[in-house]
Chain A
Amino acid sequence: MSAPAGNRRALGFFLGFLAVALLVAGGLSYFASPDPDGLDTVALDGCEVVETDAGEQLQGTCIAQHAGDHAMAGSPLADYSVGGGEGTVGLAGVIGVLVTLVLAGGLFWLLRRRSPGKR
């Protein structure tokens, strides 16, 4: 396999992989279950979520009552929305995928062993 053909094939695979990640975060995310996950289910066990004028309150005794407000709750992407807007989970997901790719890809590229001769 010649190097250019190999590179093209690798690029095709990488673009396909990225497309799948973008589709999952940008589209499939709308169909995610809204129920609490395993850890949250355990944390909420023993409590009842009661809706009051001041928002949701936890009644009973459970671990989640000890949970603090998130320090980044004011982030424009907090809770997988863009500026708190309805129906923006897909856009938030796409942004997250791209940010993650740049951060991780950049870090791994810097950490990689250089090919012989390029030193």
Chain B
Amino acid sequence: MVSATQMATEMPLAMHMSDGLVNAPTAVGFGLVALVGLAIAVHRARADLDDRTAPMAGLVTAFVFAVQMINFPILPGASGHLLGGALVAILVGPWVGSLCIAIVLVVQAFLFADGGLTALGTNIVNMALVGVLVGHAVATMMRPLARRGRAGLVATAFVAALVNTVVAALAFVLEYAIGGAGGASLGTVAALMLGLHVLIGIGEGVITAATVGAVAAVRPDLVYLLRGAAAPLEVRGSAS
């Protein structure tokens, strides 16, 4: 039997969807979407992985695991944490990035009992697929700005992260609309998810901007978003 005080300290450390928030068909359906998405990601990731970027991708994954542990306060009684979609998309690309987040979610679910096993499909769709691909889309749209200099890159990272957080939250709303277990009206869930995740997205943006900015300061060649450009950042002399 778990004591009440233990529960009180342990409960908030569950960070992702638990089992039972959506019905079984919805969980299975999104599980299949997750599998197909990850299979495509594995296939496409190979082109982005070499002797230099493979270790980088491993470290980025470990870093996301670490930073996801850090819940930051957003409102009295509510916190948020990094999802990491834009962060991985900018540093290692969308396909490798999707695999990074999926690995974090698998480790969290199986070792740390965080995020239900039957909810793994929905969690992977929301954060590893939707979050990463949206973060990638925004970052790609802003790439001309990102390549102009450090301020542009940091601004791109912030905006991409803010948008990835909000859209990943809306993906949960969609799942709840399709097969939610009930307990709250769809309108309430949508409004609360949106409002809270705009605030969390600001935190996500700050963390993502700081991380991408720091990596670009030392190793701009390891920033996926800047690859292929005659990177103006290297003019600063930090790259050679």
- Residues in B neighbouring A64, C-beta threshold 8 A: 18, 183
**Contact flags A66-108 to B (C-beta < 8 A → 1, else 0):** 1111111101011111001000010011001111110111111
- Measured in the bound complex, the distance between the Cα atoms of B2 and A51 in whole Å is 12
Pair count A-B, CB < 8 A: 271
| CB–CB A99/B63 < 8 A | no
- Residues in A neighbouring B117, C-beta threshold 8 A: 70-72
| CB–CB A111/B42 < 8 A | yes
Q: Tell me the A28-42 residues at the B interface (CB within 8 Å).
A: 28-29, 31-42
- Measured in the bound complex, the distance between the Cα atoms of B214 and A78 in whole Å is 32
Counting CB contacts under 8 A, is B159 at the interface?
no
- Residues in B neighbouring A84, C-beta threshold 8 A: 6
Which of B20, B72, B106 has a CB less than 8 Å from the CB of A67?
Answer: B20
| CB–CB B70/A73 < 8 A | no
- Residues in A neighbouring B14, C-beta threshold 8 A: 40, 70, 79
**Contact flags B28-53 to A (C-beta < 8 A → 1, else 0):** 00000000000000100111011111
Contact A68 to B19, CB < 8 A, known contacts A103-B103, A112-B50: yes
| CB–CB B54/A108 < 8 A | yes
- Residues in B neighbouring A89, C-beta threshold 8 A: 13, 69
| CB–CB A56/B183 < 8 A | no
Spot the interface stretch: B148-156, B193-201, B223-231: B193-201
| CB–CB B70/A32 < 8 A | yes
Contact A96 to B197, CB < 8 A, known contacts A52-B4, A65-B183, A80-B13: no
- Name B residues whose Cβ lies closer than 8 Å to a Cβ of A: 1-4, 6-21, 42, 45-47, 49-59, 61-63, 65-67, 69-74, 77-81, 96, 99-100, 103-104, 106-114, 116-118, 169, 172, 176, 180-184, 188-189, 192-193, 196-197, 199-200, 215, 218-219, 222, 240
30 intermolecular pairs with C-beta atoms under 8 Å apart? A17-B59, A17-B63, A18-B59, A35-B78, A37-B71, A37-B78, A37-B79, A38-B199, A38-B200, A42-B192, A43-B18, A49-B8, A55-B1, A61-B183, A63-B182, A66-B20, A66-B182, A68-B20, A70-B116, A70-B117, A72-B111, A77-B111, A79-B14, A89-B13, A96-B66, A96-B111, A96-B112, A97-B65, A100-B107, A105-B61
- Name A residues whose Cβ lies closer than 8 Å to a Cβ of B: 1, 10, 13-14, 16-18, 20-22, 24-25, 28-29, 31-43, 45-46, 49, 51-52, 54-56, 61-73, 75, 77-81, 84, 89, 92-93, 96-101, 103-109, 111-113, 115
